[in-house]
Amino acid sequence: MTTSLIAPPTDADLDATFGPLYASIAEGAVARERDRELVHAPIALLKEAGFTALRVPQEHGGSGVTLRQFFRQLIALAAADSNIPQALRVHVNFVEDQRLANTPAGDDWLRAVADGTVVGNAITEPGAGSVGGYATTLTRDGGGYRLNGTKFYSTGSLYADAILVAADLDGERVGVLVNADAEGVARADDWNGFGQRLTASGTTVFTDVAVPADRLLGAGYGAPGATYATSYLQLVQLAGLAGIAQRATDDTIAWVRARTRTFSHAAADLQRHDPLVQQVIGRLSSAAWAAKQSVLAVADVLDETLADRRVHEDLVPEAELAAAHAQLAVIDLVLKATSDLFEVGGASIVDADLRLDRHWRNARTLAVHNPAIQKARAVGDLLLNGTDLPYAWNAGSRTEIAK
């Protein structure tokens, strides 16, 4: 007797499912930005619709989409509200890690994600970078552990059901998963950046938190050396930038279409007929298109790199270089576009109620992750001297997955 398999969703299927949801999320984006209203409600809707389990294999309750399909949806979500993909950045990487683990424990977590579990992070802490240890400690307590420490840049932790924490255990870096509502866990929305203000990237304090033995994820939580995750995590940020470029384009078009005033020295009576304004719109649209295609091109490489639920190690350098090239191209495109959009109008376009400045602020904030000047140097060193590209965890650390 044969078992029939459900065909994976197509892009059209995904658009039909999530498109109306993105439109609803976009409608409230300006008000949330103005009032610093965290995105609890949108993330709850996304969980219910299955967005957070898109990469979970179908046999474990997810959609089993390709990375190209997933990043296409992530760009569309970022166009609705760029805070949300960043808030889910560690969650989607955690899902990828469990897919690749291909173990009973990993499959259990995949099923939990399919049931709605969202994972946040508490990795970074003051004074701890890619070299050295953590002040946050995990100590043995009977058959389990106790966790103590303070983390900042805990992106997405306020939206999470479980938090991925990096800690020191007997002189070794380890990763553990802690229930977000466990006794002794305190989360604060004190992220003070001028952009991406709703990512819940604040402080998390752990005070004598009980951690069961089965929540220990292993030494270093990531092996030393080359890893797919550097390019993957960078691509989540680039998807955010591509989405910002699309929303900036859409918002600017809507603003120009509604205008009935122009300048005394303008080339047309209406701004939408002004060839100079039309050029600005054309450039914005081109930037959004190019950013999206760059992200999808890297996703194609990662699809090959992570095919069959395993890492094809020989393709990891190709994925890393592709993500690096995309980073250097996309950042410049989007930062310029989100500044140039103001050329279509006079003083009225900077009205604070429009919040059009949020596009540049959000893009600038995303762009400082893994600074482009460092990546450009590394690419040049590779091409000139054959020096391997740096990977975020090549010291056995996952510290770069946060800000």
Q: What is the pLDDT of residue 131?
A: 52
Tokens, residue 301: 């490489």
Q: What is the pLDDT of residues 358-394, one digit of tens each?
A: 999 999 999 998 889 999 999 999 999 999 998 875 3
Q: Which of 101, 118, 135 is the last residue of a domain?
A: 118
Integer Cα distance of 48 and 28 in angstroms: 19
One domain, residues 78 and 180: no
Based on the fold, state whether residues 350 and 214 are members of the same structural domain.
no
- Total domains, the chain: 3
Residue 139 lies in a domain: yes
Q: What is the pLDDT of residue 346?
A: 84
Q: How much is the pLDDT for 84?
A: 98
CA 167 to each of CA 100, 150, 212, 392: distance values in angstroms, whole numbers, following the listed order: 23, 10, 15, 17
Is 242 a member of any domain? yes
The 10 Å Cβ neighbour count of residue 300 is 16
SS3 category, 185? strand
Q: Distance between CA 22 and CA 19 in Å, rounded?
A: 5
Per-residue confidence (pLDDT) for residue 397, from 0 to 100:
34
- Choose the final residue of a domain: 171, 202, 219: 219
Q: What is the pLDDT of residue 394?
A: 39
Instruction: Tell me the three state secondary structure of residue 100.
Output: helix
Q: How far apart are CA 306 and CA 102, in angstroms?
A: 12
Domain boundary among 118, 138, 160: 118
26 and 131 assigned to the same domain: no
CA–CA dist 157, 140 (Å, integer):
25
**Does one domain contain both 369 and 246?**
yes
- Is 1 contained in some domain? no
- What average pLDDT values come out for the chain (403 residues) when binned by 10 residues? 68 98 98 97 98 98 98 98 97 95 93 97 75 84 96 95 94 92 97 95 97 86 76 97 98 92 68 92 98 98 97 97 98 98 92 96 95 95 96 45 32
- Are 49 and 177 in a shared domain? no
**CATH no. for residue 180?**
2.40.110.10
Q: Reduce the DSSP state of residue 120 to 3 states and report it.
A: strand
Same domain, 271 and 377: yes
**Domain span including residue 329:** 228-384
Dump pLDDT digits (tens) for 106-151: 999 999 999 999 999 998 887 655 455 789 999 999 999 999 999 9
- If asked whether residues 109 and 126 sit together in one domain, one would say no
The reply to whether 170 and 293 lie within a common domain is no
Handedness of CA 73, 70, 241, 301 (dihedral sign): negative
Report the distance separating Cα 90 and Cα 87, nearest Å.
Answer: 8
Question: How much is the pLDDT for 331?
Answer: 98
What's the CATH number where 71 sits? 1.10.540.10
| 102 & 135 share domain | no
Q: Assess whether 306 and 332 both reside in one domain.
A: yes
Q: What is the pLDDT of residue 7?
A: 87
Residue 144 lies in a domain: yes
111 and 20 together in one domain: yes
Domain at 278, CATH number: 1.20.140.10
276 and 372 together in one domain: yes
Q: Which residues of 312-351 are buried (b: 16+ CB within 10 A; e: fewer)?
A: eeebbbbbbbbbbbbbeebbebbbbbbebbeebbeeebee
pLDDT for 3 equals 41
